[in-house]
Each structure stands twice: as structure tokens, then as C-alpha cells.
Structure 1
């Protein structure tokens, strides 16, 4: 959770209304206890009990959350949003319950009458939703009246200030919090119909007409889908007529959400997005009660191919521009591959839980499983603004069947201006999902590109323009050289895969990292690199990744897992 940027006048009015609400003494009576919505982490909950507070990539130590100095605005927003209640609830111990009550009362004592940095509509909506979700714990503590009054003040504040939330997802979350209060708080003075009309009329600020999100980050899509699904559930809980417009939007975005999931239920990790929580995604899709499978063709710029136990997802579009470029990745034509519940080829990813330097590094082309030409990213990260610029403009892509295999073909022009070379990639997933073959080609497409290539080649002294094709491995994959060449990859499930190439490049190992939410430090892993040089106007490298025929492993993931694989 990041701290929303609040215009000066809006912030002053938020503070004024918060203080006015703080002068009231409303009592809140719940007609029933809501069920918790978030899926907390019991291990992180236990860490909180032990005094180790890890929020927004920063660790603070102390028994009192509110006495820990906030190192940055994101840390402050995370603790003000009360997301830590999910983890303490998941821990489930008496000490964790007591700490949840103590920290909540600590917030009420310090900020409950309108002070502090947390009185924005978005953060107030997060807090109200969390306090309602965990009301059973909070109201069983030493001061239930104070918690009840805090709920009432939040409800009053949001009734007055929800329109001041930024358009799009922040405003929708404020509306959802009010509707949730309407459903569970006895006598809540909330006019539901105008709120619902406002939310539905503003869907275009959240989703594109196709049902995706402008950032192209799969977990941003999930956040939007979950909020809209919550809106639909609130409408049903209040006994109001369903919205056909909302149903259509959820159907479109749900199909795209399914199309950016691997077989293990995780999300493709592109453009600032993490893998997500498969159980939470399953719950949101189940709550929406949608029919149908993943979107066909390109979905939000991603190509998904599935066969057998394997899922291949390719970033097949230019990176986002405009405000969304602040989290975009230089990942065009990079791919991820999963077998059953086990990721094999991944992106390094990014996470708010690591420092800014690691987050920037995770956005570069070098951190994705794709081709890098002359050591350059396919888009440029501006050091002053962290915006991604100068990315590819023309990214043709095609999905087809080829000799029974599921084929992806794509190309991009990011390197044409500097080298004259266009990158083209062909990926073929075998019908049984046991093999992925790839062909990477850098080629000049016209006379002007040929002239530019010759100039770039001359700058190398004729030695050729460096070409690298990277394959980042998931940390759980064990890699070792094969006696006959190539690399053997062993998955935790026991599956064995053989990586090899056509000999037109040099194969090397190198260290890599894997960044993920909840991990304070990058996880070490490996990458396979194919290195060559472009000395002519067409340079081609072929490679293949094949599940070995002597692999007699029992697919232990299927036996041990509690949830089925995500359907194709």
C-alpha cells in the first residue's frame, strides 16, 4: 500500500472533517459479525507478536506499533491501513488477539479524534473495512465502546469525504467500505443507491474498455477485479437489483484475470505485479460467480499457451505509458513457464518489500527471460522520475497452431534506432506440454535498418553486436550441467527438464535473484544465458526445453495439493 498523494486543499478539508467527526461520540451496533476478507500470514503475525514489524519493505522493532518511527510514507500508510490485522488474526494465538486489540486502541488513543496522517478517504476506507472484518476480535477486548465509537467516526468521515478520494480504485474502495457498513451496522445512515450509481458510472477510471488495467500489471487487475466483485457482493447483500453493466465488466475482466494466471494459480510477474495469493484470487473469482474460461487471443497484451501441465505466458505488447510508466518493466517478448504447481522460467520480479535499487533493477530487460541486445534494455528507465520511456512502439504478435504445437510469434522494434535490428521470437509449446522450443532472431527489415546496422557494427570494430538470451530460474529449481551438453533442471515435484540449444551461442550460468512480496531480501537463484554476436543482418539462435523421457516422477504436487490446478 502506498501513501496517496493528496492535494493541499483536499488534505486540509480531510483534516477538518476528521476533527469534526472526532468530536462526536457515535455508538455502533453490528447486526452481525462480518467474516474476515483478507488472507493473513500466520508467520508474519507471529513476527509481529515478537516485536518485528515488517511493512512496505522496512523492518521496525518494538512492542508498540505506534512508537516505531516511520522511515517513509509507504510504511506509514501500511500501518495506518490496518492490514496487519489480517496477519495477527491468522496467527490465531491469545497473544496475537491481545496485540490486535492493543494496537487498535493505541491508534484510537493517538489518532481517533481526527489527528495524524491516516485521515484520507482511502486509508479510512481500509481501516473501516479491516475493523469490520475483525470486529469479533476487536469488540471482545477491554474497551469495546471505544472501538464502537471509532467505527462510527470512520463511517461519518467517509459519508462526508468519499468523493474526495482520487477517482478510480481509491474512490471505489471508499464506496465499498460504506456499503459494507450499511450491510452490517445497525441503522447506518448510508444511501446505497447513489453510491452504487457513482461507482458503476466511474468504472472507466479503473478498467480499460476491454476489461484490463492501464498499468498492465496482473496484480493491479486483480485488485480492481476484487474491488468490483466486492461491489457486486455488497449490492446482493443489500437486496438490491444486480447491475448488468457491472456484470459485463466483471465477465470481461475475470476472463483476462484467468488468462494471466499460471497453472499453479499465481499471476504472471510483469510490470510491477507480484505473483499474488492464489487462494485470494480463487475466492474473488468464486465470489463473482463467473462462467467461462480465460480470454482467448491476447489478453491485456499477454499471450497464454497451455498444454498438459504446462503454462506459458508472454508479454506481447509495448510497456504502458503515461502515469502507469512509473511501474512499467522493459519486458517485451519475455516469457514465464510453469509446470503444474512449479514455476520453471520466471522474471526476477519486484516487490515493495525490497529497497528502491532492487525494484529498479527488477524492471530492466536483464531481469526478464528475454533477449537483450548490446547490453541495452528494450526501454529506458529515467533516473530522475523512475518513468519507463523510449520503449518499443511496434509489437506485432500472433497465436496459431503449427504442426500440432501451440505457437506464439512476436517481434518488437526497440533496438532498431540504435542497431537497425528487430527482435523476433517464436515459441512452440508441444501438444502434451512436455516441450518448449524457441527461436530468437535479430534481423534488419529494410534498407534504412541495414544501413544503421552497418554503422553499429562498425562501432564494434567488426566484432559483432552482443546478443544475450536470458532464462531466469525459479529458486526452487535445481540446475546442473548435462553430460551430453545443456542443463538439467530438477523441480521439487521430481520432474526433470533438459535445456539445450543449437550451438550458435555460448551457454553459461550466472547468479540471479527472485524478488517477491513478503521477502525482505532477494532470494538467490540462477539464470541460463545464451551469448552470441550479431555480425550479419540476420542472426538466429534456437533453443529447447524438454521434459526428459526418463522422468518417472509421481506428480507429487497433484497428490499433496489442496487445490486443483487452474484450468486452461
Structure 2
């Protein structure tokens, strides 16, 4: 490991050595980035500022990019992915803003390691080339030549960084950037050879046999589809045959992306995902797939997807993803989401791009789970990766034509509390009867709360013993036994910004002694609950 890191650093250092070869003035091949831009963000950028994760920031001064931004903001700014927003605006002012910022970057490139991270570097190169026609094609030859010199140099840096350690779906950004560099300067055949060599390896570790991205996130699934379909567009622009592996992989991952959608056509909210919009999903899938197919398997990469009638039940039945794929992972093991027709009823709280909200949304309390002693079932290190996760997660599924049964458990609370949590779920009555039983077993009673986060579009009314949910014209009733029932304030970030919502809470009571095979006595605490549709 030490020597491979040294060799990689040496290759990167050589890649920065200027070449004597005269740089081209224009790219040989161009392609058009098809990512969806935000016109409102484009207006802000043209006016000298931007919004990231709900906070407003000033654009860098023309003489420096060394701004004291948080790391997640830097990755976004340094990647130039926001060129999509300026192109969506499409005005001459937007064009000149993009051109000015690219020229400023070339003149004052920050000496920041984040700027040289392979996914950031790759996305920057792909963004420059993908928006070249919009903002650079009519620029002066001097600037275009400078851009080409940077593309050639940074392409060499990207090639030197391969093979990459695991970056999750973001590893595809680095490879797309290398392909963009080859499009601009196809005489650098080494760029394409490195791409061809490492692309299959990246797909092999990223995409499971069932078509689920290793990040175990609907958002990562969306991004992987978008990246691969963009690469196909680049091969078409190069007038080269699309690698069969690329096409067959897209055919495997698109049905899974469809399967990650609720009845409203938007994404389930797990492991860093937000809902996105139905138009987002339709646009990406229309470009990427030949046939509209939904993955038929009940189990998808550790997720369980159950359908009955017009109801959908998603369950996260696995630990967080492995190191390298866990940058956006949440402590949501055994959490679930439930929807009926186009109405989301019970949801996880969503995700944030950075800051305190991001950390809060990763904790177990932001999911439909049992939270023991205010702890999370997984912990996160200062580097953002998962530092502790459940070592045992079990799931058994049974079904017939009329119902589904799930038996789930994990030991994520055992190291700190000596307790294990098991959850039983039942879905029946044509999808209009969802029941659960949550059990904690340990050496002593544990204080816990079972949380049920209600989607903000649903109105919640607490009655004497029950809680009534109004979803459109539908009425649902929630009741429980074994705990103390209440309704509290909540927040939902599943649509990209904080929204006030409500949550149903069941607080624990004292347990009872139970006889077990391995030890003479254990304490068991149990709560049961039911969500049923009230007939009209």
C-alpha cells in the first residue's frame, strides 16, 4: 500500500511537468452535457453568488479561489458542475460568467487537495468539454488555447491517478473526465487506453450481480445511470462503437432505478437520497433504457421491496455499504418507507449535501427505526465514513397471494448496550394493513423510542388512543400496544430543503424476564403497532 501510494504520487508529479508539444487551440471532438440545470441557481451565479444546501455563498474573487468554504461546497464549486445551471439560464450574461470563471480558475488554480481529487477533477474536465459550445467556442483563441493546455495536463493527472481506490458512484466521474480529455486531444491515446483498462474494473466493483450500485442508495443508482448514459453519448460523438459492457450494465441498472421509485414516480429516501422529481427520473431513464422494465426481485442489494394492491413497502435489510462506498451512508438499518398509490405515508427524513443537517440526517433517529438510548446503530468517523456498523443483520421473508411477512434483526446496539433489536413486519389486506412488532432483548431494560416519520403532505390528527393520517382523500389509522404513544414535530429534507412535518413516537415501558437457551435470563421489551386504511 505504501509503495503503491508513493508510485501514484510520483506519476502525478510527472503529469504536472509541462509538455513541449504545442497545444491545440480547439477540442477535436465535442459533446453536449445533458444534465438538468437549475435556472434559479443560474440567475444567482450570474449575479455573483450561489446557494448550496440552503446557504448562500459569494462566488470567488477573480484573483483567488482560496475561499474558506466547507469541503462539500468546495467539491461542488471546483467540479464546475454548476455550468449546467448557467447553460440552463442561457443568457449572454450567463455565458460570460462561465467564461470568466473558467479563465479565473486557469489563472489562479487553488493549491487545495480537494481540487485534485479524481472525481472532482474528472467532473471538471467533463463539465468544461460538455459546455464548451455554450461558453468557450466564441472565446478568444488565447483562452481556448489555455483551456486545452489545462485539459491535456489534467488528463495526464487523471490517468496517473488510476487505478482509483473505491469512491462509490463518483469513481465514474473520474473515468468520464478522462474520456472527455481524450475527446479534446485524441492524439493522447494513453488517455483512452487507461480508460479502457480501468472502466471494466470500476463497473465490476460498483455494480452488483442484481444491478444495485454498491453505495446502496437510490441516488447513487440515479447517478450511475446518468454517468453511463453520458459516456454513451461521448462514444457516439467520437464515432466509436459503444462498449457492450456499458450497454449491458445500463440494461441491468435501469430496472433497479425504476424499482426504487414510489407510486408517485420519485425515489425512495435511503442512504443519502432525496425524492428528486418525476421529470428527473423520466428524463434520465428515457435516455438510458430501451425497455421500461422494473426489477422483479423482492430483494435488491439488501433492500426488500414488497408490493400488495396499490401499496409499496421498502425495507433496508442490510448494514451500511462497505468502506469507500459509504460516504453518503446512513444509520438506517431495518428502516422502512411505506406508500399507497401516489401517497407517501411513512418516510425517512431525507438527506442534506453538507453541514449539520447532513450529519443529523445520517443518524438513526432520522429513520423509521427503533432508537435505543438515543444512539445510532452505526457510527461515523470525522472523515465521513462509517466507523462502526452492525456485524449481524438477518432477514427472512415469507409470502402468499394475500400477505407478506418479514422477520428482521440486527446487533448494532449490542456493543454499547448489550441488546439486540428484532422487527417483524406484516403487510396484508390488499396492502391496506401494515403491522409491526419491535423487540429489544438484553441484560437489562433499555430506554428506547420507535419513530415513524410522516411525510409532510400527510395531515396528522391525534385522538385519544389512535392517530389519524389524512393523505389526500384517504384516511389511515395508527395504533399501538406496549408503549406510550405521542405525536411530535419533525423535519423532512427529502425534497432538497427543510420542511416542517410530524412524527409518531412510541416510547418504551419496562420489560419482562424471558428464558433463553444461551443464558438463564434476559430482559425483553416489546411494542406492537398497526397502520390500517379506514374504509371510505
TM-score normalised per structure 1: 0.78
Matched, 1:477 2:479: no
Equivalent of 2:468 in 488, 511, 516: 488
Q: Which residue matches 1:557? A: none
Change (3 A) 1:180 1:16: closer
| Separation of aligned partners in 2, 1:83 and 1:95 | 18
Native 8 Å contact 1:352 1:517 kept in 2 = no
User: What SS does structure 2 have at the residue aligned with 1:391?
Assistant: coil
Change (3 A) 1:194 1:63: closer
Q: Which residue matches 1:505? A: 483
| Separation of aligned partners in 2, 1:260 and 1:456 | 39
Q: Which residue matches 1:128? A: 125
Q: Deviations over 1:463-497 (max 9, x none)?
A: xx434221112233332234x75233334xx3333
Q: Which residue matches 2:104? A: 106
Q: Which residue matches 1:347? A: 348
State the 1:276 CA deviation. 4.4
State the 1:51 CA deviation. 3.0
| Number of aligned residue pairs | 515
Native 8 Å contact 2:33 2:230 kept in 1 = no
Native 8 Å contact 1:56 1:74 kept in 2 = no
Native 8 Å contact 1:24 1:153 kept in 2 = no
Q: Which residue matches 1:566? A: none
Q: Deviations over 1:396-440 (max 9, x none)?
A: 2315236x1344442334446635554122131542x4x241221
Equivalent of 2:81 in 70, 80, 83: 83
Which piece of structure 1 moves more, 199-208 or 187-196?
Answer: 187-196
Q: Deviations over 1:134-182 (max 9, x none)?
A: 2232135553651354045304531564241424556643433343465
User: What SS does structure 2 have at the residue aligned with 1:20?
Assistant: coil
Change (3 A) 1:194 1:388: closer
Q: Which residue matches 2:425? A: 426
| Separation of aligned partners in 1, 2:423 and 2:41 | 44
| Separation of aligned partners in 1, 2:204 and 2:239 | 25
Change (3 A) 1:65 1:57: farther
Native 8 Å contact 2:351 2:496 kept in 1 = no
Native 8 Å contact 1:64 1:103 kept in 2 = no
State the 1:202 CA deviation. 3.9
Change (3 A) 1:205 1:488: same
Native 8 Å contact 1:206 1:224 kept in 2 = no
Matched, 1:535 2:523: no
Native 8 Å contact 1:263 1:341 kept in 2 = yes
Q: Which residue matches 1:562? A: none
Native 8 Å contact 2:313 2:336 kept in 1 = yes
Q: Which residue matches 2:90? A: 92
State the 1:232 CA deviation. 4.2
State the 1:81 CA deviation. 0.9
| Separation of aligned partners in 2, 1:429 and 1:467 | 27
Q: Which residue matches 2:388? A: 389
Q: Deviations over 1:263-312 (max 9, x none)?
A: 33333322333434554443443333254322402101111123454432
| Separation of aligned partners in 2, 1:481 and 1:469 | 17
Change (3 A) 1:340 1:498: closer
Equivalent of 1:456 in 432, 444, 448: 444
Q: Which residue matches 1:559? A: none
State the 1:362 CA deviation. 2.0
